[in-house]
Structure 1
Amino acid sequence: MLFLVAALSFLVFIIFSQQVMADMFSWFKKYDVHLSPAVQGTITFQGSPVANVKVFRELTYDKEYLDHAITNHDGFFTFDEKNIRSRRPGSAFDTSKRQVLYVDYNEQRYLLWYFTTLNASAAKTLTEKMQQLRCELTQPETTYELPNHEYPDHPHGVTGICSLD
């Protein structure tokens, strides 16, 4: 009987200690973080396409990721979806992610899109809007409040010159 109690105690100890070890080292686990959906848009100036200009995409989470696309003769540009693996979402010190699109044209910087969030996954509304950006450089920056399908009580705030309607 004493042997059975000792064996069960040892088994409970092993199971409990493995759970403690898993919790203690969960900060080593990497998570998928969605930085940006695929982006498609056009850039115009006074209604005419802006060709051969660099559109910059700056994504920030843990560190900064910068890439660019060049508009074609119709002012059209694209970016691929961007995802990373990070330990940050499992941390008590998780931080927000930031998406910025901008273009430098005629010695002026234009903010096409600016968005920040604490959510590490894709957002349906933002994915849809970023597939059809229409950016007229003569438009003033506007802040939009977009519906958040995933968390309806927390709408998305996006700033830029692109039409999101």
Structure 2
Amino acid sequence: MRISNVWQKRLPLLAAALSFLVFIVFSQQVNADMFSWFKKYDVHLSPAVHGKITFNGTPVANVKVFRELTYDKEYLDHAVTDSSGHFDFDEKNIRSSRPGGAFDTAKRQVLYVDYNEQRYLLWYYSTLNASEAKTLTEKMQQLHCELTHPEKTYELPNHEFPDHPHGVTGVCSLD
């Protein structure tokens, strides 16, 4: 009787240990996915930007052009137009654990300028995609922004996801 009493106490512990071992072996993929939340990913916030600002066709010189990029937090920088109204921004990329998480966040690109006591929206774009978009990169290489034009919303082709065109708003001509 003593021997069966010992096994009666140890059998549930042995079954629990065996179940735990089976769980660990078969859940390795789940564990790998769970820990990918801590992995860092490259997030493309903005391509390099090259543009020109005019007002009634005349170059707008020596004004600050602001670039506001948002993903997890806000990144703000500025450039100053030269005598011919040209401005440039470098490409901006960050590392983030957000793309691997369950609650990814939107990425936002905004370019604006304050001129003659008025704010002009040059470019506004928002997406959930953390990678570079070919069409947007091409358009941001040759922005011509006439401040007397009304804001317009463009529907641009999306080479990466053709069923989801890019929507961009601003006074810059994207035709």
Tell me which residue corresponds to 2:161.
151
Tell me which residue corresponds to 1:70.
80
Instruction: Report how far residue 52 of structure 1 moved.
Output: 0.5
Instruction: Report how far residue 26 of structure 1 moved.
Output: 1.1
Q: Distance in 2 between matches of 1:19 and 1:144?
A: 43
Pick one of 58, 62, 66 that aligns with 2:68. Answer: 58
3-state SS of 2:110 partner: strand
Instruction: Report how far residue 12 of structure 1 moved.
Output: 7.9
Instruction: Report how far residue 94 of structure 1 moved.
Output: 0.3
3-state SS of 2:99 partner: helix
Q: 1:97 and 2:122 equivalent?
A: no
1:46 partner letter: N
With the length of structure 2 as denominator, give the TM-score of the two structures.
0.84
Q: 1:50 to 1:87 in 2, by over 3 A?
A: same
RMSD after superposition: 1.5
Question: How many residues are matched?
Answer: 155
Tell me which residue corresponds to 2:134.
124
Structure 2 residue runs without a partner (length 5+): 1-20
Q: Distance in 1 between matches of 2:26 and 2:82?
A: 60
Instruction: Report how far residue 25 of structure 1 moved.
Output: 1.2
Tell me which residue corresponds to 1:162.
172
Instruction: Report how far residue 95 of structure 1 moved.
Output: 1.1
Task: After superposition, give the CA deviation of every residue in 1:109-162 in whole Å (9 maximum; x if it has no partner).
Answer: 000000001111000100000000000110000000001111111110000000
Q: Which one has the largest radius of gyration? A: 2
Q: 1:144 to 1:20 in 2, by over 3 A?
A: closer
Query: Which structure: greater helix fraction?
Result: 2
With the length of structure 1 as denominator, give the TM-score of the two structures.
0.89
Instruction: Report how far residue 14 of structure 1 moved.
Output: 7.0
Q: Distance in 2 between matches of 1:83 and 1:15?
A: 38
2:99 partner letter: P
Task: After superposition, give the CA deviation of every residue in 1:66-88 in whole Å (9 maximum; x if it has no partner).
Answer: 00000000000000000000000
3-state SS of 1:24 partner: helix
Instruction: Report how far residue 99 of structure 1 moved.
Output: 0.2
Q: Distance in 2 between matches of 1:30 and 1:55?
A: 31
Task: After superposition, give the CA deviation of every residue in 1:55-107 in whole Å (9 maximum; x if it has no partner).
Answer: 00000000000000000000000000000000000111101100000000010
Moved over 4 A (4+): 11-18
Instruction: Report how far residue 23 of structure 1 moved.
Output: 2.3
3-state SS of 2:138 partner: helix
3-state SS of 1:128 partner: helix
